[in-house]
Structure 1
Amino acid sequence: MSTPDERPIYIMMISMHGLIRAENLELGRDADTGGQITYVVELARALGKHPMVEKVDLITRRIEDENVSKDYSVPEEQLEQNARIIRLPCGPRRYLRKESLWPHLDQMVDQCLHFLRSQGGRLPDLLHTHYADAGYVGRQLSLLLGIPQVHTGHSLGHPKRQRLLAAGRKASSIERQFNFERRIAAEESILEHASMIVTSTQQEIDEQYSMYRHFDYQRFRVIPPGTDTTRFSPPGRRKISSELQAQIDRFFSNPDKPLILTICRPEVRKNLKGLIAAFGESTELQQQANLLIVAGARDDIRQLEESQQQVMLELLLDIDRYDLWGKVAIPKHVSQDNIPELYRLAARRRGVFVNAALTEPFGLTLIEAAASGLPFVAPDDGGPRDIVQNCRSGLLANTLDSNAIASALLDLLSDKKRWRTWAKNGLAGIRRHYNWPAHVNTYMKQVSQVLRRDRKRWRRQLVITLDSGKSYMPLVNSALISDIDNTLLGDKRSLRQLVHWLKERKGKFAFGIATGRTIESAVNILRQWQVPIPEVLITSVGSEIHYGARLIPDTGWANHIRHKWRRDALEEAMKYFPGLTLQAEENQREFKLSYIVDPDKMPPLEEINLHLRSQQLFAQLIYSHNEFLDLLPIRASKGHAIRYLAYKWGVPVRHFLVAGDSGNDHEMLVGDTLGVVVGNHSQELEQLRGMEQVYFAKGHYAAGILEGIAHYRFDEIEPSPVSEH
């Protein structure tokens, strides 16, 4: 693992959800396109300009949907000379909100691996993930490739759930909407694994991340976010569009009053309901100021997603309830180019920016307001605390209490001298604390420490390594996969020859095993026979996949095969059949139900299958050696596992040489794989004789594998063209 001290580094950033493009960000279009989008795009740009960064790839989801711009379907878009956006397929082509992305995240892991392979094998030095969904993807890549992961949470499940409950939402309702259980579990795994967690404030660490079991104070770094001061500036320096001003002022009976401005997405957490209550219940506030709410873009509220519809409808109903017509503006369309002008307009009218969110881990709009010379009111939670301390241009309020919001707004509006002082303070504070060059310089110093600290650790712990220390699973073009018992093992002399052959060609292709044994049993028997731990271990008859000496589980495979699997019900149903005895507990697995068979008493497999289907139970029945019966999920088997690996790692199925001796090897031996049946095979495999690409060796055990290697000229397989991403 290289460090910035040695050469410029390659950073892969991952941000899964929302609408990400280089220009004209559609912030506020929906609940997923907000401050995080601005941050990741600007950070990628700024890092791309740093002299010690070779390149930055910002990975996001490719979206082909007539309801959004075609920009989001373009596979690659340049940000800067050394920074680009890469869009990869993940799940359905249509746009999905982040809560619906979870079932598809393992595909993004695979797509990232394909992408890296398509780039000629140059692996990133660092992964930087944003939010829990990308963190999940990054953790898998980090484990598989041996690359340190840096993570920025942006928003956390635990505190968000807590605040929503405190606001009166039902637990069952918010779970359905936000999928907190899975999100928090992912956040725990990320915290356990990541080399560094970046936060914008100390409060995030002390009061939010500390709620998690895997909280480790030493891994956190506070690096305040930057803002683009070329866009945000006080009103004296740039003109304000008269057209935009007219668009806003048409809502107001008296447009010259100070302007209270809020910019946010229409979602419950942003607490627009609390803000309207604060304004509507304070006659004094209505007399002193107008309220401008920029809550995303819309043509028709009825076309918004359901949660946004609800927020907007309640907003309009509350405006009517408090009779705020002529005092509140809610424009339909405000482009991102207009946002800096709105800050300047509010500042010119001696107004206030307000962020009334229930919880605010970040506070980007507060930084933008301060950079525009506009004092602010913000939640006494998360990022705003540090921003107030650094900029001295705002007040904190308990945003769960609408009276507290109103009181803070009146406090700022009523003292003109303090308003001017705070406007100047904000400009100075932004220059000192919140500019992108300062952010990136601090970031690179911290990253350099991570890479130096982790270099030895990752080299010790790499899952699948070359002598260079790089993971090569994404780079190999072929793989040798063998059963263990009676195939790989059985004859010491031929095994030594095969092991020598493997060591001489290490790095050219992957070596793996596919066995009915459990992972623990497989590792033990390989060590007894002095076989190096393979790069890939397919165990428990294809129901589990692990990688390398650290035995990293492939969670994507587990999620894939969980489909229609009801283990307890299957075990109960199998009691109906004679001739079956459950194997010992150590042979039972989450995705494998194993029996010892009395072949004279057990009914035909077809009869068992029919009985199970009649009870809406689904399983694969794997019968081997006339002695064992394994029930697996319908998507699990050695053959399915190999095809999954072929897809995941971009290795053609026809470049897998597979060797076996019994019935549970059947599926991986047929099809496009290069099948080798060793000479000491079971009678069950005789039905394959004569099939194309199934070679029956004369040699027994490892000698048969070596014979198959020679037959297929496996050592001569040439790399095939890598498809474009």
Structure 2
Amino acid sequence: MAGNDWINSYLEAILDAGGAAGEISAAAGGGSGVAGASGEKRDKSSLMLRERGRFSPARYFVEEVISGFDETDLYKTWVRTSAMRSPQERNTRLENMSWRIWNLARKKKQIEGEEASRLSKQHQEREEARQYAAADFSEDLSEGEKGENSNEPSIHDERTMTRMPRIGSTDAIEAWASQHKDKKLYIVLISIHGLIRGENMELGRDSDTGGQVKYVVELARALGSTPGIYRVDLLTRQISAPDVDWSYGEPTEMLSPICSENFGHEMGESSGAYIVRIPFGPRDKYIPKEHLWPYIQEFVDGALVHIVQMSKVLGEQVGSGQPVWPVVIHGHYADAGDSAALLSGALNVPMVFTGHSLGRDKLEQILKQGRQTRDEINATYKIMRRIEAEELCLDASEIIITSTRQEIEQQWGLYDGFDLTMARKLRARIKRGVSCFGRYMPRMIAIPPGMEFSHIAPHDVDLDGEAGNEDDSASPDPPIWADIMRFFSNPRKPMILALARPDPKKNITTLIKAFGEHRELRNLANLTLIMGNRDVIDEMSSTNAAVLTSVLKLIDKYDLYGQVAYPKHHKQSEVPDIYRLAARTKGVFINCAFIEPFGLTLIEAAAYGLPMVATRNGGPVDIHRVLDNGILVDPHNQNEIAEALYKLVSDKHLWAQCRQNGLKNIHQFSWPEHCKNYLSRVGTLKPRHPRWQKSNDATEISEADSPEDSLRDVHDISLNLKLSLDSEKSGSKEGNSNIVRRHLEDAVQKLSISVSASSVEGLSENVRWPSLCGRKHIIVIAVDSVQDADFVQIIKNIFEASSYRRLSCSVGFVLSTSKSISEIHALLISGGIETSDFDAFICNSGSDLCYPSSSSEDMLSPAELPFMIDLDYHTQIEYRWGGEGLRKTLIRWAAEKNSESGQNVIVEDEESSSTYCISFKVTNTEAASPVKEIRRTMRIQALRCHVLYSHDGSKLNVIPVLASRSQALRYLYIRWGVELSNMTVVVGESGDTDYESLLGGVHKTIILKGSFNAVPNQVHAARSYSLQDVVSFEKPGLASVEGYGPDNLKSALQKFGILKD
């Protein structure tokens, strides 16, 4: 705390004794910038002083309080209290404030203790779970099993991965481009928060519009100009708010291709890179990323419509009439990753994820500060929802792309779903063709971001240039130079350049202290701070305003006028000119953030010949390893920062060597290099897309919303199957989905002879499921929180309320429930409801999809049910399904829980289980484990699944990770063209633990309120985050109804235009 004179005055007031100033001054560092005296005295314990009768509140304050809290906040409080004229009142206020701060110190220690205990318990649980996985791995397999498993394709298989040489020359680039030019790939990128546009990006405008925005736009542009890629869509949010530019409301923006001979742009009607803005959430508001979570489902629905339509358009252009599905969906940041996972599951295409910054790492950093509890942090940042989204990305992604190895080892290692050691073991087992027992781990790939160098003029990288050569240029100086130079009394001194938004984690205040307290550095160099754009500080966010205020106060404190530049505005297009100015003056670029995920500005600066001083925490370590163009420092050590800067600006030989090293190696961070590495990894993924689309199928649907064409799909054997209780039972025990599918298809082939002999007209009379395509509206009944008798009555009342539309066949019905198909059949029979009254049944919490069949001529035995199961739906959801390995682990987990409680809390329910749903009965909901705990236990063992409670917590279903009832509705849109916006979902006031996913989206929602709803119990209360954090109850397409009478239901349906008034 050296140099803080206000501290001395504060401590004097606490003691109310001026004679203690000498001791106080020594304890606080004397206020002179010399800390030697304090170093000797701080060794003594304040408690020991108290025991000796010489307790010093001043020293206790310095030792125990100041070191743990932000001095800006303390200073503001001191200013308010010292303004009191009455000494007595002032001292009383200061005494009270001292006790308050002491309580804060105790709170900090309490938080630290709780976190230490939590981390210790978490570590123990992880070790126990991974021991189980290791025990499974140690089991010996027979040679026959090894042979069978070795023939199965795997998404982890690296045997086809090619090791291409690094692109370091034009010849290598051209050779690689020629090899891939015949491909016609479609790639979808997603980045939904912040302000995104192709030109004049407003970087630094707020915390959401930073380096990620620049990265995703340039990545889209570079991929769109890469040989083999026909189209790239960057999906983001459409914003029509009055306080942002109109360009963010444009539905589509084409990105100009990179003008470089190293790229070959694929010309075509819809080719290139585009920003596609999807409307979701309030149309007239700009929403920070922390508050976007309630609208994710709506974005997914809108993005799904765009991708399906674009796939058809591209199919007409380059796919010989067949849809060109995305080769990959790539999410950026947690919110887009959550969206990408749902889209990947709905479309059955591979997913890639880039975190940019991770929630668990941020949570740990904030907790270390000791100022906020977990609940307080979550209330501000919605951090638990973000972490769960990142865990889902680990579940769903085939590849996780990071910028550095440090991110893999130190940041992703904090997550339940990733363990580097287990990932290596799984890859080794896959290569040997040995079973992984249903366990999966995404590939972690470090690919540094790229940079486009074509706009850098040759004189910008002239190693022989001197600082005075700018006068030789015939072109005028860029305007931004004058904006910066006007701050300096001697503008010819080397410039230390920092380019970062005013965020506390960027550590700008430490940089100013380092500069201000190093006399030689101040004499030798100037400091330029480019901290985004601002108009009025008081109108900025509180966090950014606080940082800027601290910066201005420090400049005044050290009297740095004439030595520090801090312009208010700059354009993104002017950033290269700023780098050029710093290079002209033989300056240095600095990034001293506490932690930097990558540090793209370091690469940009190096491209203009600027040596760097950078934090040793995060990505700069990898950048420095490649470029070797500067010095890494501890961001918490201001003396180390100052010495590194002084060393580079004072030693001309070192400066020139660092500059030369950076320019020599910078090509390794080019966009061609990045795109080549990116595609070489993506190219190893097993292609996935909707399975019913076959290039050699003459009866394939050309227009999904055509009922006539849909009837052709009766020739698809996957739907010509009567669902049998016997086959359901055998399927649940089989374990291997491929074997089950073969058995089912064998049975179908026996029936296909009579089917093929039937006419289309005859089939249309008996098969009801194609009628989905002709419905104008679909009512989805998904009420979970009621008894069976109420449930049956709700169905009847909905039928009655929509009787007119029902008779005209313009309204269809889908039953969506966690019940098995046999339970549904029994329920409908008990209520006197025909199965043919529905168009589809979403069963087992979304793991099965069935259609009614009124035909009885093909029924083989009384055990069969009048339903047809959609096996194509299973191919959509079976991704990373653990099968028998998952089932054994769950049974072992249930046995342990029963042993711990001394009773059978949870037991397997074989009758309700199916091939893709493992069910358990819960006998004591109060003793049941929360969903988040079960999910965490499975993730630690690399088992990917969707865990949910149903039947008011009395039943537990475990289904494939990307299966759900809301995903089943999206499948109906993709498979049959049933518009999601034409669906109305009817739910209760509460429901199964997947309740939240049924409320969001573009469909309409009717909530039935009343005492008939079951009261949420323990399994619903133990949520990771509140329902309000992830669901918007103010969306236009939501209506609440008291009771479930026909008249109330009718009025709600009329509100949505389903029924006429």
Whether TM exceeds 0.5 here: the answer is yes
Partner of 1:193: 396
The structure 2 residue matched to 1:223, chosen from 437, 447, 451, is 447
- Partner SS for 2:186: strand
**TM-score normalised to the size of structure 1?**
0.69
Deviation at 1:111, TM superposition (A): 1.1
Verify: 1:446 aligned to 2:681, yes or no.
Answer: yes
Tell me how far apart the structure 1 counterparts of residues 183 and 772 of structure 2 sit (CA, whole Å): 25
The structure 2 residue matched to 1:77, chosen from 253, 267, 273, is 253
Q: CA offsets, 1:19-47, max 9 Å, x none?
A: 11111111111111111111111111111
Deviation at 1:169, TM superposition (A): 4.8
Tell me how far apart the structure 2 counterparts of residues 228 and 57 of structure 1 sit (CA, whole Å): 19
Q: CA offsets, 1:648-692, max 9 Å, x none?
A: 99xxxxxxxxxxxxx989699968999xxxxxxxxxxxxxxxx98
Distance 1:277 1:592, change over 3 A: farther
Deviation at 1:9, TM superposition (A): 1.4
Partner of 1:266: 502
Partner of 1:39: 215
Verify: 1:131 aligned to 2:355, yes or no.
Answer: no
Distance 1:504 1:397, change over 3 A: same
Deviation at 1:537, TM superposition (A): 4.7
Deviation at 1:438, TM superposition (A): 1.3
Partner of 1:183: 386
- Partner SS for 1:418: helix
Tell me how far apart the structure 2 counterparts of residues 76 and 417 of structure 1 sit (CA, whole Å): 50
The structure 2 residue matched to 1:315, chosen from 551, 554, 562, is 551
**Aligned positions of 1:663-674 closer than 5 A:** none
The question of whether the paired residues in 2 share the 8 Å contact of 1:263 and 1:293 is answered with yes
Partner of 1:91: 281
The structure 2 residue matched to 1:149, chosen from 351, 355, 360, is 351
The question of whether the paired residues in 2 share the 8 Å contact of 1:536 and 1:545 is answered with no
The structure 2 residue matched to 1:101, chosen from 289, 292, 295, is 292
Q: Which amino acid aligns with 1:323?
A: D
The question of whether the paired residues in 2 share the 8 Å contact of 1:152 and 1:199 is answered with yes
Deviation at 1:404, TM superposition (A): 2.4
Verify: 1:280 aligned to 2:516, yes or no.
Answer: yes
The question of whether the paired residues in 1 share the 8 Å contact of 2:818 and 2:950 is answered with no
Deviation at 1:335, TM superposition (A): 1.1
Partner of 2:578: 342
Deviation at 1:86, TM superposition (A): 0.4
Tell me how far apart the structure 1 counterparts of residues 360 and 701 of structure 2 sit (CA, whole Å): 37
The question of whether the paired residues in 2 share the 8 Å contact of 1:264 and 1:295 is answered with yes
- Partner SS for 1:438: helix
Q: Which amino acid aligns with 2:670?
A: N
Partner of 1:385: 621
The question of whether the paired residues in 2 share the 8 Å contact of 1:592 and 1:632 is answered with no
- Partner SS for 1:449: coil
The question of whether the paired residues in 1 share the 8 Å contact of 2:781 and 2:987 is answered with no
Q: Which amino acid aligns with 1:363?
A: G
Verify: 1:522 aligned to 2:821, yes or no.
Answer: yes
Distance 1:54 1:409, change over 3 A: same
The alignment covers a number of residue pairs equal to 574
Tell me how far apart the structure 2 counterparts of residues 194 and 112 of structure 1 sit (CA, whole Å): 18
Q: CA offsets, 1:361-405, max 9 Å, x none?
A: 121000001000000111112211111011110211111222222
Partner of 2:52: none
Tell me how far apart the structure 1 counterparts of residues 772 and 509 of structure 2 sit (CA, whole Å): 60
Q: CA offsets, 1:99-125, max 9 Å, x none?
A: 121222111111112223444644422
The structure 2 residue matched to 1:426, chosen from 662, 670, 673, is 662
- Please state which structure has a larger fraction of its residues in helix: 2
Verify: 1:365 aligned to 2:601, yes or no.
Answer: yes
Partner of 1:702: none
Deviation at 1:128, TM superposition (A): 0.8
The structure 1 residue matched to 2:460, chosen from 227, 232, 235, is 235
Tell me how far apart the structure 2 counterparts of residues 251 and 300 of structure 1 sit (CA, whole Å): 19
Distance 1:100 1:232, change over 3 A: farther
Tell me how far apart the structure 2 counterparts of residues 130 and 535 of structure 1 sit (CA, whole Å): 37
Distance 1:447 1:506, change over 3 A: farther
Tell me how far apart the structure 1 counterparts of residues 611 and 543 of structure 2 sit (CA, whole Å): 31
The question of whether the paired residues in 1 share the 8 Å contact of 2:820 and 2:843 is answered with no
Q: Which amino acid aligns with 1:444?
A: L
Distance 1:643 1:386, change over 3 A: closer
- Partner SS for 1:224: coil
Partner of 2:988: 632
Q: How many percent of aligned residue pairs carry the same amino acid?
A: 39
Distance 1:21 1:594, change over 3 A: closer
**TM-score normalised to the size of structure 2?**
0.48
Tell me how far apart the structure 2 counterparts of residues 21 and 536 of structure 1 sit (CA, whole Å): 42
Deviation at 1:188, TM superposition (A): 1.1
The structure 2 residue matched to 1:249, chosen from 485, 507, 512, is 485
Tell me how far apart the structure 2 counterparts of residues 545 and 641 of structure 1 sit (CA, whole Å): 15
Tell me how large the CA RMSD over aligned residues is: 4.7
Tell me how far apart the structure 2 counterparts of residues 587 and 552 of structure 1 sit (CA, whole Å): 31
Q: Which moved more, 1:243-252 or 1:159-168?
A: 159-168
Distance 1:120 1:38, change over 3 A: closer
Q: Which amino acid aligns with 2:395?
A: E
Tell me how far apart the structure 1 counterparts of residues 841 and 453 of structure 2 sit (CA, whole Å): 53
Q: Which amino acid aligns with 2:821?
A: A
Kindly name which structure, 1 or 2, has the bigger radius of gyration based on alpha carbons.
2
| Long gaps (5+) in structure 2 | 1-152, 154-159, 161-179, 258-270, 313-322, 424-442, 463-472, 712-722, 726-754, 756-761, 783-790, 792-815, 830-834, 850-872, 879-920, 926-947, 955-985, 1006-1042
Deviation at 1:134, TM superposition (A): 0.4
Deviation at 1:17, TM superposition (A): 1.0
Partner of 2:233: 57
The question of whether the paired residues in 2 share the 8 Å contact of 1:99 and 1:179 is answered with yes
Distance 1:308 1:549, change over 3 A: same
Q: CA offsets, 1:609-631, max 9 Å, x none?
A: xxxxxxxxxxxxxxxxxxxxx99
Deviation at 1:150, TM superposition (A): 0.7
Tell me how far apart the structure 2 counterparts of residues 186 and 370 of structure 1 sit (CA, whole Å): 35
Q: Which amino acid aligns with 2:345?
A: L
Tell me how far apart the structure 1 counterparts of residues 372 and 999 of structure 2 sit (CA, whole Å): 44
Distance 1:317 1:472, change over 3 A: farther
Distance 1:297 1:284, change over 3 A: same
Q: Which amino acid aligns with 1:197?
A: I
Distance 1:60 1:503, change over 3 A: same
Tell me how far apart the structure 2 counterparts of residues 252 and 120 of structure 1 sit (CA, whole Å): 56
Distance 1:525 1:66, change over 3 A: closer
Tell me how far apart the structure 2 counterparts of residues 361 and 252 of structure 1 sit (CA, whole Å): 32
Distance 1:133 1:475, change over 3 A: farther
Deviation at 1:235, TM superposition (A): 3.3
The question of whether the paired residues in 1 share the 8 Å contact of 2:294 and 2:1000 is answered with no
Q: Which amino acid aligns with 1:521?
A: S
Distance 1:646 1:209, change over 3 A: closer
- Partner SS for 1:549: helix
Tell me how far apart the structure 1 counterparts of residues 951 and 579 of structure 2 sit (CA, whole Å): 61
Verify: 1:203 aligned to 2:410, yes or no.
Answer: no
Tell me how far apart the structure 2 counterparts of residues 105 and 249 of structure 1 sit (CA, whole Å): 46
Q: CA offsets, 1:429-463, max 9 Å, x none?
A: 112x111111111111111101xxx33xx56xx6x
**Aligned positions of 1:472-551 closer than 5 A:** 475-476=704-705, 501-502=766-767, 505=770, 519-522=818-821, 537-538=841-842, 548-549=873-874
Tell me how far apart the structure 2 counterparts of residues 184 and 341 of structure 1 sit (CA, whole Å): 39
Partner of 2:731: none
Tell me how far apart the structure 2 counterparts of residues 158 and 385 of structure 1 sit (CA, whole Å): 21
- Partner SS for 2:455: coil
Deviation at 1:95, TM superposition (A): 1.3
Partner of 2:740: none
| Long gaps (5+) in structure 1 | 481-487, 491-495, 554-583, 596-629, 650-662, 675-690, 694-725
